[in-house]
Structures are given as C-alpha cells and as structure tokens.
A and B are shown apart, each in its own frame.
Chain A
Amino acid sequence: MNEDWVLYEVFIRARSGLEHKHVGSLHAADARMALEHARDTYTRRQEGVSIWVVRSSEIIASDPEEADALFEPARDKVYRHPTFYSIPDDVKNI
C-alpha cells in the first residue's frame, strides 16, 4: 500500500506588501495538510502572513543547459537600463 506523501514547494509572504518567496519543501498527503505542515514548519518564528503550497511536480522549470539561449540575448540590450543615457549633472529630477 502506498504510504509515500507528495512533495510540495512552499512559498511565504513575509508581510503584506512583499511577494511570496520560495522557502523550502515538505511532504503531505493532500493540499490542506500541506498548508498545515507549511505553517508548522516554516512559520514557527513569525516568518509569514500568507502561504502558498504547490506540488513540486507542477513546477515547470527552464533547463540550465539552455541558459545561454534564454538569458544571454538580454545582455547587450543595455539601452533598457537608465544608466545607458548620459544627461548633464545640471539637469535635475530626471
């Protein structure tokens, strides 16, 4: 008989105004239990005000082997950053 529980990833919002952040994983038989385990494991020291749990198997991840193709092309688009443009120091508020 199956006694293995499912692996869940846990995301915690530290306080309102901040995004949820990945903090770790845990095992649970169902979603409700996963939330409870996340609460008991990852918020023992007031680390959060909101919890997301998601089955690890539901996460679709990019392949590190493709990192060059995915992320290198952004490298030479420096004109997307404000520091690319030179404005005389005398001009204020820009």
Chain B
Amino acid sequence: MYTQALDSSGAEPGSPASAGEVERERRFQERIDRDEKIEPKDWMPQAYRQTLIRQIAQHAHSEIVGMLPEGNWITRAPTLRRKAVLIAKVQDEGGHGMYLYSAAETLGVSRGELIEQLLAGRAKYSSIFNYPTLTWADIGAIGWLVDGAAIMNQIPLCRCSYGPYARAMVRICKEESFHQRQGYEIMLTLARGTGAQREMAQDALNRWWWPSLMMFGPGDAESVHTAHSMRWKIKRFSNDELRQRFIDLTVPQAQFLDLAIPDPVLRWDEAAQHFITGPIDWSEFQTVLKGHGPCNRERLGARRAAHEAGRWVREAAAAYADKHRDRVGGAERHVQTV
C-alpha cells in the first residue's frame, strides 16, 4: 500500500554548473522523452536523484509504518482464515518496504541512513497510517479504501523512468492485487451481517473515507513538484486526476455494500461523467502531516522501540559473521538440511 505524492520538500532542479552539464541534462531528458529507462550507474541530474531518493524513501517508510495499524488486529482476527490473510498482507507490506529500500539503495543511500531519518522524525510517510484501527471493520476499510487508493497511485509508477523503482513497483502491484479484494470481502461480510456488524462497517467507512481521499496529496494548484516529476516521468498523472478516478470507482462499490459515503453533497455529474464530492478539509491533513494526528507518536514510537530492541540482535549476527567468516562463507555452499 502506498501514499500520495508526498514530495513536498527537498531539492529543486538547480541551475546547471557548466556547458557540459547543460549538454548532459539535455541528453538525459532526451532519453526520458524516448521512454528509455534510467539505470543506477547512468548519469542523472542531482535533482532527479534527490527527488527519487526522497519519494522512494517516503514510499518505503509508508509500507513499514503501514504494517502497524493493521498489525494491531493480527492477534484478534476473528477467524483463522482471516488471521492468516492478515499476517500475509502485513508481511507483504514489510516485503514491499524492503523492495523499495533496495531501489533507493541503488541511488547511493543506505537503508540504515533512511531508517535513521525516519526514526529521527526527519522523513515523511503517508499520513493515513497515523489514524487508529479501532474495530475489525477498519481492517476491511483499509484494504478496500487505502489499498484501493494506493493501487491507483502505484500502477502508473510501474512505468516510472527509473528502472529499479519501476521494477519494484511491478512486483508490488502484482503482489498487492489481493489486498484490496480481501478488504472488500471483509466489508461485504460485515455489510451483510448483523446490525452491529453493519454499524461497524459504516463507522469504519465514515472514519476512513476522507483520509483516503487525502492520500492523493494536495490539489494540483497547491502541488509544487508535479511539473518536474511529470517531465522526468517519475509521476504520470496529477493528484487530482488520480483522486477523481478513485472516487468514480469507489462510490459504486460503497453503493453495492449499501453503505453511505459520509459526504452530504456528493452527487453524480451527468455532464462531466464524474462524482463530485464536497470540499476536502485540508487543515486536518496538514495537522496530521505535521505530526499532530491521532497516532503519529505511537507509530514512530513503535518503529523506534523495534529498532532499539533489535540492535543487540543485529550486532550479534554481525559479530558472529565476523568471527566465523570462513565457516559461514565456505560451509554454506552446501547448506545441510535434516
């Protein structure tokens, strides 16, 4: 699952230093325009590199922090089948974080540095994960809405100009295809269940609808980086385009569940062939983004605690490898099994 265009801070394409640089940038842009992929050791403008590192890192952090709200229900999943599905899904998110950190590492920054930035509060992640999962229905709503919005964002990234990022996204999109479906299945079961279950489902939709729309990031008028990212083919559609597409697909799904979208002015515009929503409360988005959401402290706190508690383990493994360099290198060529 993923996040909006979060790249709201960082390097701008600066003025090139020399005629040589200008020429290299021109050739680089030509490659992009020809839809050629850029690979790790290829020359690239510093600003392209920085933009990618920032975006991929934010994306990776979102996957990792995103494990927490859903992980909150693993031990309480109501059936063994649901428990297995949820473990597999949360585990997938960890894997996706790994793929993305790996893609970022090809740009010359280590996973350790990136995690350091996250834990120090200097890096962003998708603000959706700062909302709490209060009932089991939230697990359904996250799969349906949050993963739904994520897929909308992620599919165009499979064609991103940077090869390792695009390849990671292809793998991620393929693996995530079950995430949204399992979420909707939970919602469907609840919506067709008892009165208490229906209430639980409606309550979850009420709480997750607007934050899901905010996942696509600020409106196009406010989004500062869109132009560069579009020109570099890191981004292919604007925030508002993707958001509208999500709304148009999702509203009928809510109608099928017979649940109400929490937006009194929502209407179908026949001429535009779109659903038109009421205004988004961006002040809330900014509040959460700045660290004052319901769970910002808890999420970062949990990541820090795991990192700190795991330090002695990582050190032990590294020390063991140092001590037994020959053994672990050599004997492992034919690993013994029972």
Interface size counted on chain B using CB atoms at 8 A:
32
A77 interface contact, C-beta 8 A: no
With A3-B314, A3-B315, A31-B329 already in contact, the answer to whether A64 and B43 are too (CB < 8 A) is yes
B105 interface contact, C-beta 8 A: yes
B328 interface contact, C-beta 8 A: yes
Cα of A45 to Cα of B175 in the assembled complex, Å:
9
Whether the Cβ atoms of A5 and B314 lie closer than 8 Å is yes
Please, which residue of chain B has its CB at the minimum distance from the CB of A29? B317
| SS of B interface (majority) | helix
Cα of A1 to Cα of B98 in the assembled complex, Å:
24
Whether the Cβ atoms of B328 and A64 lie closer than 8 Å is no
B320 interface contact, C-beta 8 A: yes
Whether the Cβ atoms of A35 and B317 lie closer than 8 Å is no
Whether the Cβ atoms of B41 and A63 lie closer than 8 Å is yes
Residues of chain B contacted by A61 (CB below 8 angstroms): 41
Partner-binding segment picked from A19-27, A68-76, A84-92 = A19-27
Whether the Cβ atoms of B328 and A31 lie closer than 8 Å is yes
Residues of chain A contacted by B319 (CB below 8 angstroms): 1-2
Interface size counted on chain A using CB atoms at 8 A:
24
Partner of A32, one of B92, B315, B332: B332
Partner of B314, one of A7, A29, A31: A29
B interface list, Cβ under 8 A from A: 39, 41-43, 88, 91-92, 95, 98-99, 102, 105, 110-112, 168, 171, 175, 311, 314-315, 317-322, 324, 328-329, 332, 335
A interface list, Cβ under 8 A from B: 1-7, 24-27, 29-33, 35, 41, 44-45, 61, 63-65
